[in-house]
């Protein structure tokens, strides 16, 4: 049954890089009936960002690709999908602007969500980089993790599934990949630190989410005005790579990281680690 009580649902974006707690946080959010999203693991449906991007594409003003023809929008699959882009009438007078188009789509989407829903949640790495429309403003929850543990978790997860992810390039060796990731980790720590120093709410460390889940649940419940119950979290062990389950995923770098690699992380991130609350 579609919901009719509220015209537009508030997007709730979980801003967390891979292997830093986004799945666990989605499980926690899923314990409230007021927060709508597909409960199917790994909780990676992206309707908000899809409709946001689609609105800018369909009602775009950028110059279309020279490969455009009248059937480009109707083709499925193949290389045509990569050049779909904005429609060939870009620059002309259109009946609606991207924001109005998005709001119409989002209102229709909201009406399909379960009655009583107040939020629609989705994972959104680097949510701060998304340009939102003012008429539909999301709430953001940010999670940060000790990058040493995060790095080890990335490597272990990729090894388990047998293929590379998390931005690793084809043929890229571990040292080169780590160097790129160190820059991303630094950017992430700086961002989290800025939020914490500004006393922004909705910013959590992975370690607190794992070890002090009740406290995080209480704070989030108050922030969102919902009731979250951490007792309902299943904590899927298939998603966890550290020995000892979720608790073993905290400070795993002390047990698993070589002294040489520890020095690399300390040289690049030492002062930032300490300021965010991690021992260098």
Assigned domain for 71 exists: no
**Is 75 among the domain residues?**
no
Quote the pLDDT of residue 62.
56
Largest CA distance in the chain: 62
In this model, does residue 121 exceed pLDDT 60?
Answer: yes
**Tens of pLDDT, residues 92-113:** 555 568 888 899 899 999 999 9
Q: Residue 112 falls within a domain, yes or no?
A: no
139: enclosing H helix or E strand: strand 139-144
Residue 231, number of CB atoms within 10 A of its CB? 8
- Choose among 169, 137, 223, 184: nearest CA to 19: 184
92 in a domain, yes or no?
no
pLDDT band (50, 70, 90) for residue 128:
confident
Query: How many domains are there within the chain?
Result: 1
Q: How confident is the model at residue 4 (pLDDT cuts 50, 70, 90)?
A: very low
Q: What is the pLDDT of residue 241?
A: 83
Tokens 């449906």 belong to which residue?
A: 45
Domain extent, residue 184, equals 10-36+117-276
């Amino acid at each position: 049954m579609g919901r009719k009580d509220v015209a537009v649902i508030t997007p709730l974006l979980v801003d967390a890089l891979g292997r830093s707690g986004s799945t666990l946080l989605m499980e926690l959010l899923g314990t409230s009936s007021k927060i709508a999203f597909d409960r199917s693991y790994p909780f990676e449906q992206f309707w908000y960002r899809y409709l946001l991007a689609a609105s800018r594409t369909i009602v775009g003003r950028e110059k279309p690709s020279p490969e455009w023809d009248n059937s480009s929008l109707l083709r499925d699959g193949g290389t045509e999908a990569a050049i779909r882009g904005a429609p060939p009438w870009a620059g002309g007078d259109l009946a609606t602007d991207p924001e109005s188009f998005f709001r119409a789509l989002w209102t229709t989407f909201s009406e399909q969500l379960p009655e009583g829903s107040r939020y629609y949640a989705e994972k959104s790495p680097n949510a701060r980089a998304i340009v939102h429309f003012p008429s539909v403003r999301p709430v953001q929850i940010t999670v940060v993790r000790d990058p040493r543990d995060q790095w080890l978790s990335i490597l272990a997860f990729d090894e388990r599934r047998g293929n590379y992810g998390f931005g690793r390039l084809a043929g890229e060796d571990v040292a080169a990949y780590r160097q790129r990731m160190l820059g991303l980790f630094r950017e992430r720590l700086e961002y989290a630190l800025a939020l914490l120093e500004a006393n922004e709410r909705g910013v959590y460390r992975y370690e607190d989410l794992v070890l002090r889940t009740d406290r995080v649940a209480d704070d989030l419940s108050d922030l969102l005005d919902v009731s979250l119950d951490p007792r309902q979290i299943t904590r899927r062990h298939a998603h966890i790579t550290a020995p000892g389950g979720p608790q073993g995923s905290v400070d795993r770098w002390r047990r698993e990281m070589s002294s040489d690699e520890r020095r690399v992380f300390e040289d690049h991130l030492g002062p930032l680690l300490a300021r965010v609350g991690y021992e260098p």
